[in-house]
Amino acid sequence: MLAFADKTSFRLCSSLLGNLNPSNESRRCTKTNIPFPRSCIKFAKKDELAIMANVALSRDMIQEHLKRSVIVKKQSKEVSKEVDFVRTLLIDNYDSYTYNIYQELSVVNGGPPFVVRNDEWTWEEAYYYLYEARAFDNIVISPGPGSPVCPADIGLCLYVLHQCRDIPILGVCLGHQALGYVHGGKIVLAPEPIHGRLSEIEHNGCRLFDNIPSGKNSGFKVVRYHSLVIDGEKLPSELVPIAWTSVRDALPFLQKADKVYNHSAGRGEASMLSGQINGTAAGKVLMGVMHSTWPHYGLQFHPESVATSYGRQIFRNFRDLTVDYWQAVSSKNRNGNQQNHSAIFFLYAIWYINLFILRPHLSRACLARMQMPNANSCRTSFRGDQFAEKKNGDCNGYVVNNSKSGIAVRNLRLKCKILNGLASRVGGSRIIFDELYGKSKAQDTFWLDSSTVEKGRARFSIMGGRGGSLWKQLTFKLSPSSDAAFHNGGLLSIEDVQGVTSTVHLERGFFDFLENDMKSICCDKKDYEGLPFDFCGGYIGYLGYNLKVECGAAFNHHRSSSPDACLFFADNFLVIDHRSNDVYLMSLFELDKASSSWLDDAEKRLLDLQASSNKNAEDNPSMSALASPFEAGFVSEKSREQYLEDVGKCLEYIKNGQSYELCLTTQLRKRITALAPIDLYMSLREKNPAPYAAWLNFSKHKLSICSSSPERFLRLDRDEILEAKPIKGTSPRGSSSHEDEQLKLLLQYSEKDQAENLMIVDLLRNDLGRVCEPGSVNVPHLMEVETYATVHTMVSTVRGKKQADVSPVECVRAAFPGGSMTGAPKLRSMEILDSLESCSRGIYSGSIGYFSINSTFDLNIVIRTVVMHDGEASIGAGGAVVALSNPEDEYNEMILKTSAPMKAIVECETSRCVM
């Protein structure tokens, strides 16, 4: 057991190779010699469960909620004519790629799978649904952190693999290892941990690989995320090897034509484990197995990854072999086509209890995706009623966000004035902000600042301050013991424009409040449908990293000294179109009240401005050289030695299969006494312009945020398209154009940075897959290098079409915090990081942006940011630790990321910014 594991809520079941296959001290099945998790041998009585379901809700209640879900109406092109769809039970091992599998199965099967986590059902419950209710045609077992020898990591899956010998099963990664372990295979360390890297695959041509080429240079490349393997040299007789790597070495996703970038970090560690590492034959690693007589298959690689070729074909093949399997089974053994309506409603009753009563914060998005099985499955099935989709209501031309009763609806109108080309005539957005808000030292103001707009990275900036009668400020602070179960919730303070503050305790958390509040707004589409931008008034502010406990994280080890969320409700604001230089003055007001005079006042002040050369502050002067933040008086939460040690611990977790990637961070702090925060931001935006930069000031909390973030977390536009732009991979700029181009190419073809980026892209695909239409999640741009004032970064773009009955806030909860700041699998990685990091990340790693009244939002990732709170400036920074990481390089990358905000502070302290 690792000495540093006791601070986490999970158990690292085995860190030493000798413990990967424990003795018979734990409870085992005598036939297969496997340990069963306690959750699986703790049986519940079916009568008790039925009583529980009847008490909790009636059949009518279930049907009413099912009306929110629409049965798949169109037969997928991949689905054969004989069956409408295949019903899959997808067991989630708390992985961050499960919903990539979900998306693939939804397309291939003709309908979405039913997802259950590995500790949600006892074996008796699973047996009932699989054999008595016959609710599923096949089973897919997801990847996940940990090892199949650890009951807490694998849960129900061991029982399913051992007992369901007559149901087709596909195990992926951890599921594949579990298949080997159940039948006596040995789980060993891989020759080296492989995460986010590719291998060419040879296979034996079995049914799972129909229409897929084999061997080196065949085009069949797959993505691998694993540190453990089934020992291929000691495979039990029940298992048949079906796939191997073509060569020993893994490959990067992108390769230079004349040279493959070779990153050797981590391989020396593997060579030191000689005598303990198995699983290879002639330098090849076992990548797939099947049972000799049961319809069970396992794949060590990830067919659902965006970079795996023929991944969908593998899922299509599994679907087809499932259909053929059940068609070959005697109808006598399957009881014909007997229907069992009560069983399917019992299934939904238990599912409803688990989600709506035990985990209601996760329920609505899940329920929106759940669909009743149709009759024409390949196995005995259940017919559900066809329900029409329930639309959001409208009131005389108004869009009503609220579909719940009991929430008072506010009818709002939006008024706009356009000042054509004004931004360029007055000298730019900084001059406009100074004129409207600078005289009050920018107190209680916001500025979502697209301070760099080249290459189409951003187009609009939004700014405002204390507004009209609708203006208010929300301040939320989690209770000390808040966790994923929402114990004690948090305290919300609401300040109106007169300065009157009310406080309320939110038992269900902040996101629940925000969703209900946004749903209470009714606005006229005609007021904004012709605007070129999405924000039409609403909330602008930040969401702190600790809100992860409202999004599935188990707990917070550290409390934030700043509020966990602060947002303004902006009713008077302006938008600058940097493409046309038009300025839009906007005012939001209640339907039965007149608009404020702010529009006329702001228009007059801006028209009176005269452009002059000394006012134009859009230039970007270079920063002076400074070797280290410590020379500038910053103090780090972790010393260099401690940070290097933490990187080593991360590598140990990765080697033992607990994570694929860990985004380790720390904080640098400095006392600030004579620095005007708004001047610091002005300096930062000049010297390090960024497309998702932001300024926020909350004067009552002595809190200012100066962000030069280059990263978009998540956006939802008016066409209901979700977009994430994760950044993974950073390198410094060069001192000459030649050196700069060389550094850019080194980043582009860095195997380590590609692996980092690919892992987070797959994670974001998973997060969007929870709330997007099946088959709609796509990656239009993968691993593109973008250049900024101080660094090159590797950026990808992930998009998907939001499901109609999933709310904007639910979309954010499905993906928050951004995967580029956590690692993967997200939940396990956040627990590990909480145990390693010595303080709360606070606002850093969270998001800044807006939630608009027209059901759109746009949020950044809080990086390259200075947080000024109670006289102290803090800068958060870190980097992704992967199997290829070198501790020294990770430390240097962390320091590099502090350079722009740190230098802005130093220059402000020694120049005009001092008060």
Q: Which residues are catalytic?
A: 173, 302, 304
Nearest Cα residue to 847 out of 815, 802, 800: 815
**What is the distance between the alpha carbons of residues 187 and 183, in angstroms, rounded to a whole number?**
11
What lies within 8 Å, CB to CB, of 781 at 6+ separation is: 795, 796, 797
Find tokens 């900084």 and name the residue: 430
Find tokens 């402000």 and name the residue: 908
Concatenated DSSP letters of 173-240: THHHHHHHHHTTPPEEEEEEEEEEEEEEEEE---GGGTT---STTSS-EEEEEEEEEE-GGG--TTEE
Concatenated DSSP letters of 472-534: EEEEEEE-TT--TT-TT-EEEEEEETTS-EEEEEETT-HHHHHHHHHHTEEEEGGGTTT-SSS
DSSP reduced 3-state for 421: coil
**What is the distance between the alpha carbons of residues 469 and 596, in angstroms, rounded to a whole number?**
8
**What is the distance between the alpha carbons of residues 551 and 484, in angstroms, rounded to a whole number?**
7
**What is the distance between the alpha carbons of residues 544 and 561, in angstroms, rounded to a whole number?**
11
Nearest Cα residue to 538 out of 513, 555, 526, 521: 521
Nearest Cα residue to 171 out of 21, 69, 294: 294
Nearest Cα residue to 300 out of 315, 310, 313, 285: 285
**What is the distance between the alpha carbons of residues 356 and 211, in angstroms, rounded to a whole number?**
43
Q: Is the peptide bond before 621 cis (omega within 30 degrees of 0)?
A: no
Concatenated DSSP letters of 639-688: -HHHHHHHHHHHHHHHHTTS-SEEEEEEEEEEE-SSB-HHHHHHHHHHHS
Pair 860, 726: CB distance under 8 Å? no
Q: Tell me the two tokens of residue 706.
A: 């100066």
What lies within 8 Å, CB to CB, of 772 at 6+ separation is: 103, 722, 800, 801, 802, 803
Adjacent-strand bridge partners of 169? 139, 296
Q: What is the DSSP letter of 117?
A: E
In Å, what is the CA distance from 91 to each residue of 147, 176, 624?
Answer: 16, 13, 54
Q: Tell me the two tokens of residue 618.
A: 């859009």
Nearest Cα residue to 675 out of 868, 497, 501: 868
Q: Is the peptide bond before 113 cis (omega within 30 degrees of 0)?
A: no
Find tokens 């120049």 and name the residue: 911
Nearest Cα residue to 681 out of 712, 704, 711: 704
DSSP reduced 3-state for 319: helix
426 Cα distance to chain centroid: 41
**What is the distance between the alpha carbons of residues 562 and 657, in angstroms, rounded to a whole number?**
34
Adjacent-strand bridge partners of 865? 707
**What is the distance between the alpha carbons of residues 376 and 373, in angstroms, rounded to a whole number?**
9
**What is the distance between the alpha carbons of residues 700 and 824, in angstroms, rounded to a whole number?**
37
DSSP reduced 3-state for 883: coil
